[in-house]
Amino acid sequence: MPKFSIVLLAAGGSQRMGRSKPLLPWGNTTLLENRIQNLQLLQHPITLILGYQAKRILPIIQDNSVNVLVHSNWKQGMGSSIAFAVQSLMLQPQQTDGVLFTTIDQPFVDVNYLNLLLAQFHPQQKQIIVSRSDKGWTGIPALFDKEYFQELSQILGDEGAKVVIKKHQSHVKYCSAGKKLVDMDTPESYQKLLKQLTPNSDH
C-alpha cells in the first residue's frame, strides 16, 4: 500500500468571507474539526497549515495526531503555503510516496471521493492526480508523487501548484469529483452550503 502525507491548507485570510473559515460552524462542530475528522478516516498522517488567526484556531485542535504548522508568510498566497508544507515534509524521517493537498473550504469533499482519488495512484510513476468538477474546473484536492517535492517546495504566490501541473501535463490524471468541489468564499455561499447540509434548518 502506498504511503501518503495529507496536507490540509487552512492558512488563508478569508477576506471575502469576512471571518475565519476554519472557525465557521458546520454541523455540530466547526468546519476545521469536520475536515480533520473526515481526513482521519483515510488513516494517513495529516499536516495542518494555519496562518490567519492561528492563535484563535489552535485551541480547538484537540487531536495530537495532527501535525500543526503555522505559516508566518501566509499572506503570500496558497503557493507559499504549499511550499511551506512540502519543505516540512522533506525534513521528516518517515517515507512517503506522495502528498495529497486539500483545503478547508470544500466541505462536501468526503472520504469516499478522496479514497477514489488515492486509488488511482501508483508509486514511482511520477503521477499527478487532479480533481475535476462537473463544470470542468480542475484543482485541489490534488495528489503529487514525491518526485515533485523539490519543485513544490519552491513555488510562490497565489497560483497554488498549477505551475507544476502545467509543466508536467503528460503525467497528469484527472479524477471526476462531480458536484463535490463547490467551495465557500462568501457569507452567501456559506449559508447556501449550510442549508444543503441541514435542509430543514433555519440557519
Contact 161, 155 (CB under 8 A): yes
Domains belonging to the chain, first-starting first, are 4-197 (3.90.550.10)
Average pLDDT over residues 115-130: 96
The pLDDT of residue 203 = 35
Residue 159 has pLDDT above 80, yes or no: no
The pLDDT of residue 15 = 67
Contact 190, 107 (CB under 8 A): no
pTM above 0.85, yes or no: yes
- pLDDT band (50, 70, 90) for residue 200: very low
Average pLDDT over residues 21-47: 92
For residue range 82-95, list pLDDT tens digits in order. Answer: 999 999 999 987 78
CA distance linking residue 161 with residue 139, whole number of Å: 9
